[in-house]
């Protein structure tokens, strides 16, 4: 079994070649624990601080976790894409977030699947469509259809899909659904 250090070193080396000059935000947290949580990609704040889910979506995630008695320190948290996907705003010329593209997802997904083996958590909790599709290795699956249900990934891992916490910020109707899904997750644990 590869160690997390060896894995991260190899990921950094290869990602630096593929995406030169880009800051990387790696996964972090408990190995062999109950939950590995996976987001889409880091945003501006995550890139600045070098940690996953420390910006607005992270604050939302932490509140939801606390509401069901879970703590960030009990988990491993990572993203599918380890660099911040951005484009330049036509108005300000400054970088703004965009969804990860096919090249970014294609490069980082095999690393994510390897990371999941190393992290070896009992449950994988995907946040939104990007990690769901990556872990289930299926483009046709969508979060609207499978959220709050236990799935088994092609490699035999237990996967519990949640909406992305940022989607909940922008859609209040999802808030109640999100709360229910988290309760289901809590009952599973
Ligand atoms: N959104 C994500 O998907 N990941 C982060 O790390 C932050 C925001």
Tell which residue, 53, 100, 56, 87, has the closest CA to residue 73.
53
Q: What is the pLDDT of residue 172?
A: 80
Distance 77 CA to ligand 1 centre (A): 10
Distance 68 CA to ligand 1 centre (A): 20
Mean pLDDT on 164-185? 88
Q: What is the pLDDT of residue 1?
A: 53
- Pick the atom of ligand 1 nearest to 39's CA: 3
Residue 6 has pLDDT above 80, yes or no: yes
Our answer on whether the CB atom of 78 is closer than 6 Å to any ligand 1 atom is: no
| pLDDT tens-digit readout, 63-91 | 888 888 888 889 999 999 999 999 999 99
Residue 144 has pLDDT above 80, yes or no: yes
- Pick the atom of ligand 1 nearest to 52's CA: 6
| pLDDT tens-digit readout, 80-127 | 999 999 999 999 999 999 999 999 999 999 999 999 999 999 999 999
Distance 90 CA to ligand 1 centre (A): 23
Residue 147 has pLDDT above 90, yes or no: yes
Our answer on whether the CB atom of 75 is closer than 6 Å to any ligand 1 atom is: no
- Pick the atom of ligand 1 nearest to 56's CA: 8
Domain of 161, in residue numbers? 4-188
Q: Which residue has the tokens 């940690």?
A: 51
Q: What is the pTM of this model?
A: 0.95
Q: What string of DSSP letters covers 165-188? A: HHHHHH-THHHHHHHHHHHHHHHH
| Phi, then psi, of 162 in degrees rounded to 5 | -115, 155
| Cα-based torsion angle of the residue sequence 15, 19, 23, 29 in order, rounded to the nearest 10 degrees | -30
Distance 150 CA to ligand 1 centre (A): 22
Q: What is the pLDDT of residue 148?
A: 97
Domain count along the chain = 1
Mean pLDDT on 19-30? 97
* Residue percentage of the chain with pLDDT more than 90: 81
Our answer on whether the CB atom of 27 is closer than 6 Å to any ligand 1 atom is: no
Q: What is the pLDDT of residue 57?
A: 86
- Return the CATH number at 51: 3.40.470.10
Residue 150 has pLDDT above 70, yes or no: yes
Q: How many CB atoms lie within 10 A of CB 16?
A: 12
């Amino acid at each position: 079994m590869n160690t997390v250090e060896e894995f991260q070193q190899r990921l950094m080396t290869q990602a630096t070649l593929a995406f030169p000059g880009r800051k990387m935000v790696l996964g972090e947290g408990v190995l062999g624990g109950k939950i590995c949580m996976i987001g889409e990609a880091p945003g501006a704040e995550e890139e600045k601080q070098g940690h996953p889910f420390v910006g607005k979506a992270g604050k939302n995630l932490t509140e939801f976790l606390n509401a069901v008695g879970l703590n960030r320190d009990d988990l491993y948290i990572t993203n599918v894409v380890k660099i911040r996907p951005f484009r330049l705003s036509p108005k300000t010329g400054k970088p703004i977030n965009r969804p990860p593209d096919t090249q970014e997802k294609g490069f980082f997904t095999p690393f994510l699947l390897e990371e999941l083996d190393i992290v070896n958590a009992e449950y994988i909790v995907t946040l939104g469509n990007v990690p769901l599709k990556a872990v289930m290795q299926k483009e046709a699956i969508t979060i609207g259809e499978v959220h709050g249900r236990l799935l088994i990934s092609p490699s035999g891992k237990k996967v519990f899909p949640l909406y992305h916490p940022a989607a909940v910020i922008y859609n209040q109707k999802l808030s109640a659904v999100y709360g229910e899904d988290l309760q289901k997750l809590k009952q599973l644990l």
